[in-house]
Chain A
């Protein structure tokens, strides 16, 4: 009888502890929501950002590196007509590993800021959504420079806040600069530029190639 009472008491105590912990949790969460200025900004590294801008598996037989500028109309064309179907047909099936690099050109006033936003989104795993929004609404933000509303529209308020904070982070700026330096080392001065690597051989493609032709090329590569 006493042992049964003890067991019930223990259960009640356990439940009370759980409730208290849960209560603290809810209150802490509520505090974060009450004070939007105190959003926790994740600590990120350049490597994490770079990993966030890749699609597919690293062991895929073909690797495609793209150097794009978010404000360049040809890059928008490449994204809409080539990269989107490429992701569906070749990246999803593990045939292609796609790596995105920023290469904002000096002649485009908002391209670098757009790249900062995209890399900030990459740091929190939201690169595909932000990349798509930036390219689809290119004409809109390129005319006004108002990038933040375009990015916020495709993210939850909390994630949008994180991206906004991260966009100013020196790590994000360093990630963009790293991409630019990589591109310059390859001799790139135009966008879009793609490098298709297969079997240790790299083929540069400058400009926009039509998807049926690229598909034929990738199939020929895979047959090798």
Chain B
């Protein structure tokens, strides 16, 4: 495999990884923000109003609270902010804008989720994961495995994004060096 084709493959994998991760985050945000009641992905499930949002927030707050890791104000802060944060992060990953930083933040966020899930699983807490909004999805080995794979994906995307940026910078810096060298050789006084 030539360096060029290797670089192409790496870039393709990076796009696939960030799109997958972005969709996961957008789906997670949608699950937490969508109105309670209507079937998912119907017109009604996208009609987010003030009262529907308040109910969705409180439903998610109950799931955050069941982890017993935060005081009431902390639970309410997470319930209000996290879904929108996930949506923003998902859009950033999907678009590829500021990918290195989006990747780093995603890694950190997934690490926090994973820690909370493992902590509650080890502590024998029988609770809903709440990862993709309300629903009977108890914390289990399967949820730990799923979040671990998200963490691995986020790590891969972040490393890939840093490599990609370096690879993009390298030719331009080489060109700049060449330009400087050219300028020096052209200078008769040198």
Binding site for B on A (CB under 8 A): 74, 187, 189-191, 199-201, 203-210, 212-214, 216-217, 220-221, 223-224
B138 engages A190 (CB within 8 Å): yes
Within 8 A of A (CB), among B130-159: 134-136, 138
Q: How far is the CA of A172 from the CA of B59 in the complex (A)?
A: 35
Within 8 A of A (CB), among B43-62: 51, 54-55, 57-59, 61-62
Residues of A within 8 A of B76 (CB): 213, 216
> Contacting chain A: which of B1-9, B104-112, B121-129, B167-175?
B121-129
B126 engages A207 (CB within 8 Å): yes
Q: Which residue of A lies closest to B129 (CB)?
A: A206
6 other contacts beyond A208-B66, A220-B51, A220-B54, with CB at 8 A cut-off?
Answer: A200-B37, A204-B128, A204-B136, A206-B138, A217-B55, A224-B55
A209-B62, A212-B72, A213-B58 are contacts. A224–B126 as well, Cβ < 8 Å? no
Is B29 among interface residues, defined by CB-CB distance under 8 A? no
Please tell me the number of chain B residues within 8 Å of chain A, measured between CB atoms. Answer: 24
Q: How far is the CA of A189 from the CA of B140 in the complex (A)?
A: 12
Q: Which residue of B lies closest to A207 (CB)?
A: B127
Q: How far is the CA of A200 from the CA of B36 in the complex (A)?
A: 11
Residues of B within 8 A of A187 (CB): 136
Q: How far is the CA of A217 from the CA of B66 in the complex (A)?
A: 14
Q: Which residue of B lies closest to A217 (CB)?
A: B58
A224 engages B51 (CB within 8 Å): yes
A190-B126, A203-B36, A206-B136 are contacts. A214–B62 as well, Cβ < 8 Å? yes
Q: Which residue of A lies closest to B37 (CB)?
A: A201
Residues of B within 8 A of A190 (CB): 126, 138
B36 engages A210 (CB within 8 Å): no
Q: Which residue of A lies closest to B55 (CB)?
A: A220
Q: Which residue of A lies closest to B75 (CB)?
A: A213
Q: How far is the CA of A217 from the CA of B65 in the complex (A)?
A: 12
Residues of A within 8 A of B125 (CB): 74, 207
Q: How far is the CA of A199 from the CA of B55 in the complex (A)?
A: 13
B136 engages A220 (CB within 8 Å): no
Residues of B within 8 A of A217 (CB): 55, 58-59, 61-62
User: Among A201, A204, A209, which residue has its beta carbon within 8 angstroms of that of B135?
Assistant: A204
Central interface residue in B36, B61, B62, B68, by most chain A CB within 10 Å: B62
A213 engages B65 (CB within 8 Å): yes
